[in-house]
Amino acid sequence: MATTSVIEQMRQLIQLIAKHNHAYYVMDQPTISDSEYDHLFHQLKALEEQYPDLVQSDSPTTKVGGQALSKFQSVTHVVPMLSLGNVFNQEDLFAFARRVEERLPNQKVQYEVELKLDGLAISLWYENGVLIRGVTRGDGETGEDITQNVKTIRNLPKVLHSDHFEIPRLLEVRGEVLMPKSGFEKLNAEQEAKGDKTFANPRNAAAGSLRQLDPNIAAARPLAFYAYGIAQCEPNHGLTTMHDSLQWLTKLGFEIAERQYLCNSIQEVQQRYEQIQQERSDLQVEIDGMVVKVDDLKQQQQLGFLSREPRWATAYKFPAQAALTTVDQIDWQVGRTGTLTPVARLNPVFVGGVTVSNVTLHNIGEIHRLDVRVGDTVSVYRTGDVGVTINSNVSSRTQLDFQMAV
Ligand code: IVH
């Protein structure tokens, strides 16, 4: 067989396997039977045995993971990872649009609405289409090199390919790592069955997984990456809008969030906000609002930045759903494996559509850290669909995560 067609077959199999891995591990929704999966895997293995020189660096047959690190290396971001300003209501949103449109006189402005994914921002470097580095946001200037862990994320392309255009010499992609809700629930159930500590919410679970020095642990966690921007591209991609950039990224093999909308007016943005808020619980991932971006990249450049925030984008956050209540009792619950978990019994309180009467305190360390005591007034936040946050001491600014106990 010609070398090119062997490589092509290998690439096709790798892509198929990655797709099914994602469906199985991350979305918890297998798309093929186990035996069909095994068949694909064996086909790839057989090809690799026949042509060992052509084995692709991102092949799933070469086990993900590797040596544990003693610590992460610091990496300075060539393009800083900035933060976003926030708006919380229609009035502030319209004021944001006025500021944008005043700086772009006589220009039509379209807005791209994206989900504000509640995970961790990372940056990925690709040289000639090969993933060489993954770095956390850190303080925006300097992050940590988490390449080994990032390589275990199943829906993240390790090698870029496209039938439509040339792969850039250098590409830096920004996006969010998170744990979809289904994977989070499964992981917590497994942790509990093993007698290990459970995670308060998907964001904590994702953060804890990325921070593992042993990539084999990260590899066992159902993490996913969703791209939302391009920091650098050489040669220039020639794209003119945010919307096209996201579509272009999908053609290279990146996954983007499950929804984005192009809006012709700020009123339409407001309508999307109300719609997304309604549909929040149907989404596969946790979000804490949406991000509104000026769609045109030239206009983005014209608008520029004000201190550490772009003038061309803002986060439109969902209101915090909080309520005050008191701790009636702290019980120790015995798990199936005999592990003891402290649970705070609350005076039942209605928060963000659910009545919360129990929250797990996870372990004794958490109790000390929070200094929670019977009779304390606590504020309960609904942080998403799966998490509840409590502030143990209303006058303190420490806000800690608790998981709802069932
Ligand atoms: S764009 C300069 N798009 O929000 C603009 N950020 O406060 C860079 N985030 O740390 C950010 N979803 O982790 C962008 N669709 C999205 C996002 C998003 C979540 C996070 C990101 C960043 C924070 C900014």
- Of the candidates 348, 342, 351, 354, which has an alpha carbon nearest to the alpha carbon of residue 328? 348
Predicted confidence (pLDDT) at residue 395 exceeds the cutoff of 70? no
pLDDT band at 397 (very low <50, low <70, confident <90, very high): very low
Rounded CA gap, 406 and 399, in Å?
22
Show the beta-strand stretches assigned E in 13-141. 74-76, 85-87, 111-117, 120-127, 130-136
What pLDDT score does 320 carry? 67
pTM score of the predicted model: 0.75
- Of the candidates 291, 156, 130, which has an alpha carbon nearest to the alpha carbon of residue 224? 156
DSSP state of 269: H
CA of 317 to the centre of ligand 1 (A): 12
Rounded CA gap, 120 and 200, in Å?
15
Rounded CA gap, 336 and 190, in Å?
12
Averaged over 185-189, what is the pLDDT?
91
The half-sphere exposure of 71 on its side-chain side, counting CA atoms within 13 A, is: 4
pLDDT band at 387 (very low <50, low <70, confident <90, very high): low
pLDDT one-digit tens code per residue, 302-333: 999 988 899 999 999 987 667 788 889 999 98
pLDDT one-digit tens code per residue, 34-74: 778 888 988 999 999 999 999 988 888 765 545 667 789 99
Rounded CA gap, 56 and 71, in Å?
28
Of 96, 120, 172, 228, the residue with max ligand 1 atoms within 8 A of its CB, to mutate for a pocket test, comes to 228
Residues annotated catalytic, as ranges: 116
- Of the candidates 84, 210, 94, which has an alpha carbon nearest to the alpha carbon of residue 148? 210
Q: Is the CB of 84 under 6 A from ligand 1?
A: yes
Predicted confidence (pLDDT) at residue 269 exceeds the cutoff of 60? yes
- Of the candidates 21, 26, 117, which has an alpha carbon nearest to the alpha carbon of residue 384? 117
Q: Report whether the peptide linkage leading into residue 60 is cis, meaning its omega lies within 30 degrees of zero.
A: no
What pLDDT score does 47 carry? 94
**In terms of DSSP H, where are the helices of 339-396?**
364-370
Atom of ligand 1 nearest to the CA of 313: 5
Predicted confidence (pLDDT) at residue 160 exceeds the cutoff of 50? yes
Q: Provide the 10 A C-beta neighbour count for residue 21.
A: 16
The half-sphere exposure of 40 on its side-chain side, counting CA atoms within 13 A, is: 20
Q: Is the CB of 230 under 6 A from ligand 1?
A: no
The half-sphere exposure of 198 on its side-chain side, counting CA atoms within 13 A, is: 30
Q: Is the CB of 114 under 6 A from ligand 1?
A: yes
**Contact between residue 116 and residue 287 where contact means Cβ atoms under 8 Å apart:** yes
What pLDDT score does 272 carry? 98
